[in-house]
């Protein structure tokens, strides 16, 4: 239940659906297995798995939902090899060249014949909606997975006026200054990992782990013009994470103080424990997000919103 990554989005207007309307919308597209000729399916599943039946988990005004994607695994090498064999067979039999349009048709036919025998895998992506604060946090480092969730939610609800959370100062500029000076805004502490990127078009990337970022070596790279594109941070002894230059949060870790607090609040059954975890997590994120945006110059809100 503890999120490990965050892709953050802001509602650009009042959330256009209520809790009950959202539940009805999710019920329109429950998760289901792939059909024999389907490459993938998307649908909503229970956030607490077998420990609850609700497609929307609600606690203290926060909403938790889960997208399940099932897809058939068809390795590209298998398709390429099969297509090559078919093309060679036709060219040898008919004494002619197989051109792109026919190759594409052959490839489509081959994929459709292989799909029913392909293995499937499932992925679950969680999202937390905070109606009172107007944001959505999606537990993924993949923009594609985040967009899959938002697209299906938009399709089910009819309207989802969201945009990526933006700040007034570029994260890379802020992080570079923090590492240069060795200090971060109140509540944040610099960790021992970073990624340095050359700003030129063909510039290189340096990744540092378990490194004193105040060392002369790191400072020389910054003096030479490199920018910090990713930085390990700790926040109020509650969270540790890596912030990137797109405002993505990765490798999010809730410290023992919070997980122990959740264990104390949780009941005897797993559903109660998951609910306690969710409660502590959302309250913590509702404090982190404004604190982090303030450290990056404040949230950038377009005019008219």
Give pLDDT tens digits for 250-271. Answer: 999 999 989 888 888 887 788 8
Q: Does residue 303 carry a pLDDT above 70?
A: no
Q: What is the pLDDT averaged over residues 29-51?
A: 91
Cβ(203)–Cβ(235) below 8 Å: no
Please state the pTM of the whole predicted model.
Answer: 0.86
pLDDT of the residue at 61 = 92
Residue 76: which region, alpha, beta or left (left: phi > 0; alpha: psi -120 to 50)? Answer: alpha
Q: Does residue 150 carry a pLDDT above 60?
A: yes
Give pLDDT tens digits for 153-207. Answer: 999 999 999 999 999 999 999 999 999 999 999 999 999 999 999 887 677 888 9
Half-sphere exposure of 278 (CA within 13 A, CB side): 24
Cβ(165)–Cβ(42) below 8 Å: no
Q: Does residue 25 carry a pLDDT above 70?
A: yes
pLDDT of the residue at 234 = 95
∠ CA(240), CA(242), CA(244), 5° rounding?
150
Could you tell me the residue ranges of all domains in the chain? 7-74+117-164, 76-116, 171-295
Q: Does residue 127 carry a pLDDT above 80?
A: yes
**Going by C-beta distance under 8 Å and a sequence separation of 6 or more, which residues neighbour residue 20?**
none
pLDDT of the residue at 124 = 96
Q: Does residue 75 carry a pLDDT above 90?
A: no
């Amino acid at each position: 239940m503890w999120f490990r990554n965050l892709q953050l989005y802001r509602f650009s207007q009042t959330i256009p659906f209520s809790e009950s309307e959202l539940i009805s919308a999710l019920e329109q597209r429950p998760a289901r297995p792939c059909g024999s000729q389907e490459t993938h399916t998307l649908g909503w599943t229970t956030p607490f798995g077998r420990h609850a039946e609700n497609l929307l988990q609600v606690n203290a005004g926060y909403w938790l939902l889960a997208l399940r994607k099932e897809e058939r695994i068809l390795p590209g090498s298998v398709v390429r090899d099969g297509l090559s064999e078919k093309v060679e067979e036709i060219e040898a039999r008919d004494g002619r060249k197989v051109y792109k349009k026919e190759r594409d048709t052959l490839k489509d036919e081959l994929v459709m014949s292989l799909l029913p025998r392909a293995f499937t895998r499932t992925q679950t992506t969680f999202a937390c909606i905070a109606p009172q604060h107007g944001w959505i946090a999606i537990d993924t480092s993949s923009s594609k997975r985040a967009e899959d969730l938002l697209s299906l939610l938009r399709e089910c609800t009819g309207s989802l006026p969201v945009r990526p959370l933006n700040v007034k100062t570029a994260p890379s500029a802020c992080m570079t200054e923090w590492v240069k000076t060795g200090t971060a805004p109140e509540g944040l502490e610099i960790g021992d990992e970073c990624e340095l990127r050359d700003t030129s078009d063909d510039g290189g990337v340096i990744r540092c782990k378990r490194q004193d970022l105040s060392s002369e070596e790191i400072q020389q790279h910054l003096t030479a013009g490199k920018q910090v594109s990713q930085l390990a941070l700790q926040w109020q002894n509650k969270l540790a994470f890596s912030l990137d230059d797109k405002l993505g949060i990765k490798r999010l870790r809730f410290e023992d103080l919070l997980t122990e607090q959740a264990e104390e609040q949780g009941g005897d059954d797993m559903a109660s424990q998951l609910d306690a975890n969710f409660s502590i997590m959302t309250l913590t994120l509702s404090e982190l997000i404004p604190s982090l945006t303030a450290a990056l110059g404040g949230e950038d809100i377009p005019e008219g919103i």
